[in-house]
Amino acid sequence: MPHYILGIESSCDDTSASVLCDTTILSNVIAGQKVHSEYGGVVPELASRAHQQNIIPVIDTALKRAKINKNQLSAIAYTNGPGLLGSLLVGSSFAKAMAYCLNVPLIEVDHLQAHVLAIFADKPDTQLSKPQFPFLCLTVSGGHTQLLKVNDYFDMEFLGGTIDDAAGEAFDKAAKILGLPYPGGPVIDKLAKEGDPNKFKFAIAHLTGLQYSFSGLKTSFLYFVRDQLKENECFIEENIHDLAASVQHAIILSLIHKMKEAFKLYDCKDIVLAGGVSANSGLRNAMRELTDQYHRNLHLPSLELTTDNAAMIAVCGYFKYLKNEHSSISATPYTSARNI
């Protein structure tokens, strides 16, 4: 018998709902929030208000696109953390009320686990090859940068992470310095395609082990641009493509450098990239080259599953549903990453 899982995601600035039939995505509706673009980052209070406005139409559309009735749902999975508290409360309260009314299991999902497990969700027409356990997963998003050894769906070993900014934050901050809108990652990615990645050099941190750091890179980028603007006030406009390509190159180099270190320590054959920054075309290409060179199999999520979306919440919920892991109506959202 097929299981229909509704996933609800509201941890940051995207309100999303998705219906899965087992691991097949029947719908994945994402309402972004344009309101933050002029602030150069997410404004938490504005995010919660936008979630309130979006949540009912988004869930309604997800059910309609999936062509199923709410009474056919087997369970409701929702993001319980980490994220912004006000944003999480909107999704979690809605999920609890809906599960209670429909008398179906409520399943809490960790946002970071969901990014990792997104690779197991399939579009109806495309079945990508699946990684075999154990695999290495690099999650690079706006809030997190972490390398995990994934032994099983819910057995993930933390190998290393960032000691300051996340990779996505580095993209967003660089974009802000260049006067580009938030989120800056996709804009830099696009501009970088026509730029020279070796035109400008920025500081890359060399920490021991599998730790990452991006704050030095951000500062070196900020000072460089500031100094150049003193000489030429049109410096950014005249060099925008090369600046984007060079800062993107520096971020990718530091991620690739640590991946090589991880390959020396762990012989997992399968490698997964996850999180919003895994949409970056330069990073995807660099990871393809690296994994070819080291004879590893790279698994990349489809682009719509890289940034925040509810299909990844639903697929994570599905695997918990199979294990009968239900949540209590009194589960409270959490804001910081938990050990997963």
Query: Is 33 or 280 the residue whose CB approaches ligand KG4 more closely?
Result: 280
Torsion of CA 52, 55, 57, 62, to 10 degrees: 170
- Residue 291 binding Zn ion, by CB under 5 A: no
- The single-letter code of the amino acid at 254 is S
CA angle at 187 for the pair 211 and 204, rounded to the nearest 5°: 30
- Residue 307 binding ligand KG4, by CB under 6 A: yes
Query: Is 84 or 271 the residue whose CB approaches ligand KG4 more closely?
Result: 84
- Residue 141 binding Zn ion, by CB under 5 A: yes
Least Å distance between CB 184 and ligand KG4?
A: 5
Least Å distance between CB 23 and ligand KG4?
A: 20
Q: Are 70 and 63 in contact (CB under 8 A)?
A: yes
Would you mind telling me the total number of residues written for the chain in this entry?
A: 340
- Give the range of 139-147, 195-203, 213-221, 296-304 binding Zn ion by CB under 5 A: 139-147
DSSP per-residue codes, 5-56: EEEEE-SSS-EEEEEEETTEEEEEEEE--GGGGGGTS--HHHHHHHHHHHHH
Task: Indicate which of ligand KG4, Zn ion, none lies near residue 168 (CB less than 5 to 8 Å, by partner kind).
Answer: ligand KG4
**Residue 10 DSSP symbol:** -
- Give the range of 38-46, 179-187, 203-211, 289-297 binding ligand KG4 by CB under 6 A: 179-187
> Two tokens at 80?
């319980």
- The single-letter code of the amino acid at 160 is G
Out of 175, 308, 311, 320, name the contact with Zn ion by CB under 5 A: 308
- Residue 189 binding ligand KG4, by CB under 6 A: yes
- Residue 142 binding ligand KG4, by CB under 6 A: yes
How far CA 52 is from CA of 10, 57, 62, 93, 313, in Å, comes to 10, 10, 16, 11, 19
For 57, other C-beta atoms within 10 Å of its C-beta total 13
Rounded CA separation 254/258 (Å)? 7
Per-position x/- string for 32-71, each x denoting binding to ligand KG4 as judged by CB under 6 A, each - no binding: ----------------------------------------
Least Å distance between CB 301 and Zn ion?
A: 12
Least Å distance between CB 95 and ligand KG4?
A: 18
Rounded CA separation 166/215 (Å)? 9
Out of 4, 94, 120, 171, name the contact with ligand KG4 by CB under 6 A: 171
Residues binding ligand KG4: what is the number (CB under 6 A)? 19
Footprint on residues 263-302 left by ligand KG4 (CB under 6 A): 275-277, 279-280
Rounded CA separation 77/74 (Å)? 10
Task: Indicate which of ligand KG4, Zn ion, none lies near residue 171 (CB less than 5 to 8 Å, by partner kind).
Answer: ligand KG4
Strand partners, 75: 5
Residues that bind Zn ion (CB under 5 A): 141, 308
